[in-house]
Amino acid sequence: MTASPKPDVTVVGAGPTGALAALLLARRGYRVNVFEFRDDPRVQVAKPKQAKEGSLLGDAVASLAKVADAAKRSINLTLSHRGISGLARAGLDEAALQLAVPVRGRMIHDREGNIKLQPYDPDPERVMYSIGRETINSWLLDQLSEHEADGRVQLFFGHKVVRVRPDGSADFERRSDGKTHSTPPAKLLGCDGTFSKVRTEMSRCSRLSISLDYIEHGYKELAISPAADGRHKMPAEGLHIWPGSEVMLIALPNGNGSFTCTIFGDFTFLESLKTEESVRRFFADTWPDTLELMPDLPQQYLRNPNAALSTVRCSPWHLNGNLLLLGDAAHGVVPFYGQGMNCAFEDCLLFDQAREADADDWGTALPTFSAERKRATDALAELAIDNYVEMRDKTVSRSFLLKCWLHESLHGLLGERWQPSLHSAVTFTSLPYNEARATCEWQDAMLVRAGCAIGAVAIGTGALAAMRGLAR
Ligand SMILES: Cc1cc2nc3c(=O)[nH]c(=O)nc-3n(C[C@H](O)[C@H](O)[C@H](O)COP(=O)(O)OP(=O)(O)OC[C@H]3O[C@@H](n4cnc5c(N)ncnc54)[C@H](O)[C@@H]3O)c2cc1C
């Protein structure tokens, strides 16, 4: 009996998730058509000033540049175990890490400008990697383009999905001429991010429930440029954190000597700093060393936009054995655990494994994959919100540091049977997020019980000694 031919696959969205998902499919012999709303991020977009402002051409070029800028605005990311495992499935892990800067802990800044490293894990080999979103995205697209030559992959940029049907056929609006390009029935992956149009279309023809919850806090990006000699102005081996009770600033190193910083805070607060003087005063009072690192901080602050943060939940992620949502389209999370892309790459790995286990029977693989995965990503959504409080407030709290020390000591004694921290379990293992959380909650409870038992014994011993003293 000959194996039935593999169906064609349409991938919507060529962000990190769509690019890796398409690569894994192409490597398994599928023919994949990838449609992306934006222009190819690898192609330089002409600056608006090259065309006369106000002219039709000038406006078109300006709008193209805006689209590209909006994409580039997006940050550098920490790549860790789960993301690396997804890349390894495509044989790309080692090459990808060449593009990244290793970070091995939190670098906590105090008001006096002192910096203290809190390693992420007692094992110095367990590190995260800082990488630009555009860098990894463009590099994955390069890998995907290699399959264009053998006809396995076709990339369509400037194509926006406008209609998706349950049989996997879809309509795309081509930005260059506004014409519609329709694709025939196929398997279709919705990798089109937080505001997924594929998800909306699926909900039109099925009982797909969707929630998108904004948090009160938002973020703004800032940049620390390299020192005059081209090197980093601060140690590049960590994620720098300037903690605060209401706001927090972080900085991740880039390979070119710069740092990308992100200030997180209540939207009302972020918007309340409206003049260079108010910005300068806030940073001078809160984190004085930042003004030395970024002499143009007030100008950057006023120039760069504030962006919102949200959590996406939806269910089910699949329809008819034909359609599936992956990455942020299925489960966008706030960025405080640095897991959004890692989780999306792990989606790609687990979906690839599920298809392999089910002999490429999508009808079976889609429900199994989604049901298990959703439990994990629901847990991640909560963990990501909780970690904001940890990064903002607890990294300097004595009880938090004592708890970390106790867990690390037990990990030293018991090895892999005791996780050194929830952060390690989330960042450096493949335990499903819900299991990582359950394990660490159990460990915390054990620690509290042990503490209570030791306290009770100490009180009992003290009381006994006192009674003996009285009896004498
Ligand atoms: C401030 C911040 C910090 C972060 N830090 C980290 C981190 O340290 N580590 C980490 O792992 N993650 C991090 N993340 C999360 C990470 O950026 C996302 O999880 C990741 O980009 C998701 O990839 P995606 O491909 O699913 O979605 P996206 O990156 O949103 O890509 C979706 C793609 O689909 C395209 N598209 C959208 N609509 C359409 C349409 N109608 N038709 C066709 N194409 C369409 C878009 O143009 C885009 O290219 C962070 C996020 C933020 C905001």
How confident is the model over 218-229, as pLDDT tens digits?
999 999 999 999
| C-alpha to C-alpha distance for 423 and 245, rounded to whole angstroms | 20
- Residue 3 is predicted with a pLDDT of 62
| C-alpha to C-alpha distance for 11 and 296, rounded to whole angstroms | 42
In order along its 472 residues, the chain shows pLDDT tens digits of 556 689 999 999 999 999 999 999 999 999 999 999 999 999 965 544 443 444 433 444 343 344 344 444 558 899 999 999 999 999 999 999 999 999 999 999 998 889 999 998 888 999 999 999 999 999 999 999 999 998 999 999 999 999 999 999 999 999 999 999 999 999 999 999 999 999 999 999 999 999 999 999 999 999 999 999 999 999 999 999 998 878 999 999 999 999 999 999 999 999 999 999 999 999 999 999 999 999 999 999 999 999 999 999 999 999 999 999 999 999 999 999 999 999 999 999 999 999 999 999 999 999 999 999 999 999 999 999 988 876 666 666 777 778 888 888 888 888 888 888 899 999 999 999 999 999 988 888 887 777 777 766 766 777 677 777 766 6
Ligand 1 centre to CA of 195 (Å) is 10
Q: Which residue's C-alpha comes closest to atom 20 of ligand 1?
A: 341
**Pocket (CB within 6 angstroms of ligand 1):** 12-18, 35-38, 75, 77-78, 83, 133, 160-161, 191-194, 197, 219, 262, 327-328, 335, 338-342, 344
Widest distance between CA atoms in the chain:
102
Q: Hey, what are 253's tokens?
A: 């190193």
266 CB neighbour count, 10 Å cutoff: 14
Ligand 1 centre to CA of 280 (Å) is 32
Ligand 1: atom nearest CA of 339 is 11
Summarize pLDDT for 341-365 with one digit per residue, the tens: 999 999 999 999 999 999 999 999 9
Ligand 1 centre to CA of 9 (Å) is 21
- Residue 403 is predicted with a pLDDT of 80
Pocket test for ligand 1, best of 328, 348, 423, 426 (most atoms within 8 A of CB): 328
Ligand 1 centre to CA of 33 (Å) is 19
| C-alpha to C-alpha distance for 13 and 160, rounded to whole angstroms | 9
Collapsing DSSP to helix, strand or coil, 130 comes out as strand
| C-alpha to C-alpha distance for 43 and 68, rounded to whole angstroms | 10
Query: Cis omega (within 30 of 0) on the bond before 316?
Result: yes
Ligand 1 centre to CA of 343 (Å) is 11
- Residue 68 is predicted with a pLDDT of 40
Residue 315 one-letter amino acid = S
Ligand 1 centre to CA of 137 (Å) is 10
**Is residue 310 within 8 Å of 381, Cβ to Cβ?**
no
267 CB neighbour count, 10 Å cutoff: 17
**Is residue 186 within 8 Å of 169, Cβ to Cβ?**
yes
What is 167-227 written as a DSSP string?
Answer: TS-EEEEETTT--EEEE-S-EEEE---TT-HHHHHHHHSS--EEEEEEEEEEEEEEEEPPP
Structure-token match 């699926």, residue found: 202
Collapsing DSSP to helix, strand or coil, 416 comes out as helix
Q: Supply the pTM of this predicted model.
A: 0.89
Ligand 1: atom nearest CA of 332 is 19
Helix (H) or strand (E) holding 342: helix 340-357
- Residue 415 is predicted with a pLDDT of 83
Q: Which residue's C-alpha comes closest to atom 28 of ligand 1?
A: 193
| C-alpha to C-alpha distance for 256 and 105, rounded to whole angstroms | 20
Cβ-defined contacts of 276-285 (< 8 Å, 24+): 276/302
What is 73-99 written as a DSSP string?
Answer: TS-EEEE-HHHHHHHHHTT-HHHHHTT
| C-alpha to C-alpha distance for 194 and 312, rounded to whole angstroms | 7
Give the torsion sign (CA, 323, 327, 328, 330).
Answer: positive
Ligand 1 centre to CA of 21 (Å) is 14
| C-alpha to C-alpha distance for 52 and 460, rounded to whole angstroms | 85
Q: Which residue's C-alpha comes closest to atom 4 of ligand 1?
A: 335
Residue 405: which region, alpha, beta or left (left: phi > 0; alpha: psi -120 to 50)? alpha
| C-alpha to C-alpha distance for 327 and 312, rounded to whole angstroms | 10
Radius of gyration of the chain (CA): 25
Where does 225-304 show beta strands of DSSP type E? 239-242, 247-253, 259-266
- Residue 39 is predicted with a pLDDT of 96
